C-alpha cells in the first residue's frame, strides 16, 4: 500500500462526498448531500432576485435548486417487504441525539442583531451584501465538513478563525470588566447604575449544525452586552458620544473583517479544483493533479505551518479522524509544504 493511499484512507469516517459537496448524516439524500448547510452558505445568492452567474458559487446554487426541486417531487411509496426483517438490537434502535428544546439567543441592541443577521444585497440602491454571524457560522460549518477529507488548510482556517474569535471575546471581557469595576466604585460612593436592556429584545432560534456556530453566537452575545455597556456609559455620562461611537464601531469592524476573511477561505477551498485537496497531495508520491492543487493553494494562502500539517496542532473541533503510524507521520514531517516549483502563473491559471 502506498503512502498516498494510506493517508487518504485514514482521512476520516465522514468524508466530503464524491462530488465535493458537504455531507451530513441526517441528509434526506442517498449521497449525503447537506442541503441545510448549503442553504446557509448560499443564503445571499438565494435572496437575490438576480444572482450573478459569475459568482464562483453559481454551480453550487444550481445544484441546490435541483436538490430542492427533487424534494418537492412526490415520492413513490416503498414496496412492502417480502420477508419479516430481523429484529434490531436495543442499541441499534437508539436514535441520533438531538436538541430537546430549541437553542435560542436573545439580543438587546440593533448593532449586535445586525452583526448576526448581516444585510442582503440591494440591487436598486447598488448596495453590496454585508455578511453576518449567521453566514460566518455556515462558512465554518462547510470548512469543518471539509476537514473530514484530511484537508490541512481546512484545519488551519478553523484554528485561525477560532483563535480570532477567542481573542475578540477576551478583549471584550477585559473592557467590560474594567467598566464594571468603575460602576462598583460609583456604587461604593453611593451612586448605583445598571446596564441598560431593551424593552423588546429579539430572540432568535439557532439550531446550528456545527460547534463553530455556537462559538459565533457566544461572541455575538458578548458584543451585544459590550454595546449595552457602552451605551449605558454614554447615557449616564461616563463616556462621551464620540468615545462611545468609536468604541462600538471599532469592535464591529474587527468582527466583520473576520467574517470576510473566512468567506475568502471558503470560496477558494470549495472550488471544484481544490475540494479534493488532502495531506497526501504533498507527498512525493502524489500525481500531477495533486501537485497542481498544492501549487494553487500555496499561492492563494501561503505556506502551511508544519505543526498543523502533521496534526500536532489541531482545531478545537475537526472531522479529521486520521490515526497515523510512525512511518506515515515521518512522511508528513518530511513532506515539502512549498509550491514545489517557481511558476509565473497567476492563482487563476494554476487552477
Range of the domain at 46: 3-68+103-350
Strand partners, 205: 104
Domain-embedded: residue 73 = no
| Per-residue model confidence as pLDDT tens digits over 158-183 | 999 999 999 999 999 999 999 999 99
The gap from C-alpha 186 to its chain's centroid, in whole angstroms, comes to 42
| pTM over 0.85, yes/no | no
Domain-embedded: residue 148 = yes
Domain-embedded: residue 196 = yes
| Per-residue model confidence as pLDDT tens digits over 302-313 | 999 999 999 999
Distance, CA of 95 to CA of 66 (rounded, Å): 29
Distance, CA of 191 to CA of 31 (rounded, Å): 64
Check residue 20 and give its pLDDT: 59
Contacts with 70 (C-beta within 8 Å, 6 or more apart), sequence order: 29
Domain-embedded: residue 75 = no
Long-range contacts of 322-327 (CB under 8 A, 24+ apart): 322/7, 322/10, 322/11, 322/12, 322/150, 323/10, 324/7, 324/10, 325/6, 327/3
Check residue 77 and give its pLDDT: 61
Check residue 302 and give its pLDDT: 93
Domain-embedded: residue 339 = yes
Domain-embedded: residue 231 = yes
Contacts with 240 (C-beta within 8 Å, 6 or more apart), sequence order: 234
| Per-residue model confidence as pLDDT tens digits over 76-135 | 565 566 556 666 667 666 777 777 888 999 999 999 999 999 988 788 888 888 889 999
Q: pLDDT exceeding 90 applies to what percent of the chain?
A: 55
Domain-embedded: residue 177 = yes
Domain-embedded: residue 287 = yes
221-235 mean pLDDT: 97
Contact status, residue 221 vs residue 105, Cβ threshold 8 Å:
yes
Q: How confident is the model at residue 1 (pLDDT cuts 50, 70, 90)?
A: very low
Number of separate domains in the chain:
1
DSSP helix/strand/coil, 65: helix
Amino acid at each position: 500500500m502506498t503512502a498516498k493511499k494510506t493517508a487518504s484512507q485514514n482521512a476520516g469516517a465522514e468524508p466530503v462526498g464524491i462530488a465535493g459537496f458537504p455531507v451530513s448524516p441526517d441528509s434526506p439524500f442517498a449521497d449525503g448531500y447537506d442541503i441545510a448547510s448549503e442553504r446557509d452558505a448560499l443564503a445571499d445568492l438565494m435572496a437575490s432576485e438576480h444572482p450573478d452567474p459569475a459568482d464562483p458559487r453559481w454551480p453550487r446554487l444550481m445544484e441546490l435548486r435541483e436538490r430542492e426541486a427533487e424534494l418537492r417531487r412526490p415520492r413513490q411509496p416503498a414496496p412492502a417487504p417480502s420477508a419479516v426483517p430481523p429484529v434490531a438490537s436495543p442499541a441499534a434502535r437508539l436514535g441520533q441525539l438531538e436538541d430537546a428544546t430549541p437553542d435560542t439567543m436573545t439580543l438587546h441592541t440593533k448593532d449586535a442583531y445586525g452583526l448576526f443577521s448581516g444585510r442582503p444585497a440591494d440591487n436598486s440602491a447598488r448596495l453590496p451584501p454585508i455578511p453576518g454571524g449567521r453566514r460566518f457560522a455556515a462558512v465554518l460549518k462547510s470548512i469543518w465538513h471539509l476537514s473530514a477529507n484530511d484537508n490541512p488548510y481546512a484545519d488551519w482556517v478553523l484554528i485561525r478563525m477560532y483563535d480570532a474569535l477567542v481573542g475578540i471575546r477576551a478583549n471584550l471581557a477585559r473592557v467590560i470588566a474594567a467598566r464594571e469595576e468603575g460602576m462598583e466604585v460609583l456604587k461604593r460612593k453611593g451612586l448605583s447604575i445598571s446596564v441598560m436592556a431593551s424593552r423588546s429584545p429579539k430572540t432568535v432560534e439557532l439550531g446550528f449544525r456545527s460547534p463553530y456556530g455556537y462559538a459565533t453566537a457566544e461572541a455575538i452575545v458578548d458584543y451585544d452586552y459590550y454595546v449595552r455597556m457602552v451605551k449605558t456609559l454614554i447615557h449616564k455620562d461616563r463616556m462621551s458620544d464620540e468615545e462611545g461611537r468609536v468604541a462600538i464601531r471599532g469592535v464591529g469592524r474587527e468582527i466583520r473583517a473576520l467574517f470576510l476573511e473566512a468567506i475568502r477561505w471558503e470560496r477558494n477551498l470549495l472550488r471544484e479544483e481544490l475540494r479534493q485537496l488532502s495531506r497526501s497531495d504533498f507527498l512525493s508520491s502524489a500525481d500531477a493533479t495533486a501537485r497542481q492543487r498544492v501549487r494553487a493553494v500555496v499561492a492563494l494562502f501561503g505556506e502551511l505551518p508544519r505543526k498543523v500539517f502533521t496534526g500536532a496542532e489541531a482545531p478545537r473541533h475537526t472531522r479529521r479522524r486520521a490515526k497515523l503510524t510512525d512511518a506515515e507521520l515521518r512522511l508528513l514531517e518530511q513532506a515539502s509544504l512549498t509550491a514545489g516549483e517557481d511558476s509565473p502563473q497567476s492563482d487563476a491559471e494554476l487552477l
